[in-house]
Structure 1
Amino acid sequence: MENNTNNQNNTTPNNNDIIKRIEALENNYNNLNNEISMLEKNRLEVNESLKSFDKNLEKINSNMESIMSKLENPPLQTTNASANFSKGKTSISIEMHNPFRKLAVGILSGIYTVVDKTIETTSTMRENLEDIAAEAQYNNKKRRMNSAEQS
């Protein structure tokens, strides 16, 4: 009968083991809570980047409207057209070059901003998940070793 009681004590976790497990769970909970806070912060940063990108697109749209109106209603030429033609440039191509360049730069700038934020957020999330997985593996091995020592 005494052996039966000893077997039950070996399989039943003692108070120290329970306290350690609760502390580990509390630590994991705090880590996950911190991760959630960081993800929320990153989400807000991405939203701000998207708002900035949206503003850039609005500027681009405004520039495009201006360009289209100039194309539909070209300004009257006050200079000698044959002189401009002999230089290899027309006044329309000169006027169109800068707005299209600004348009391209604005679009690419917005795209790079979104891509940079996405890469940053993704790599941060990946690092955090790797840390959580490593900690979980460590806790699992530690628990196995403790149970093997008690057997």
Structure 2
Amino acid sequence: MIEARAVVLRIEGDQAWVRVTEQAGGCGRCDEPGGCRSVRITQLFKPARETFRLSNGIGAQPGDAVRICMNDGAPLRAALASYGLGAVLVVAGASLAALGGGDGAVLAGALGGLLLAVPANRLLMRSRRWRSGLHMAVLGAQPGCARVQEEGH
């Protein structure tokens, strides 16, 4: 399980707005002498998101310390779907086009693969089954998360 400490900012109906209170990533020595600061490259173009709206299944109140949990493989699956699918379709489009033409055809095939990847990723993100594997849960402040399940399963 991937866990992070957070604090509840506000409650809206059955949803809790939480802010992550610990910086995650790498070996944890980023700011120590000799640390490589490699996590900072992930925030080069956009700072990490720290506030999330999640289901409040534990009845947390504003100010409560909680833990946010996500299944281990979820970030990898999301990255593979987002970036891997696009890369595979670009290479496949270029490869297929290379069989029947020159450089222009290869470029057109690669662009066609890229154009196919955009709606494929959008369709994937609309799938409830797919999104259920990316589910995050708000749990009590005690360390240790059980396997995270989507509500209703």
- Report the TM-score when normalising by structure 1: 0.29
Which structure would you say has the larger RCO, counting Cα contacts within 8 Å and 6 or more residues apart? Answer: 1
Q: TM-score, normalised by structure 2?
A: 0.29
Larger Rg: 1
Q: Which has the higher strand share?
A: 2
More helix by share: 1
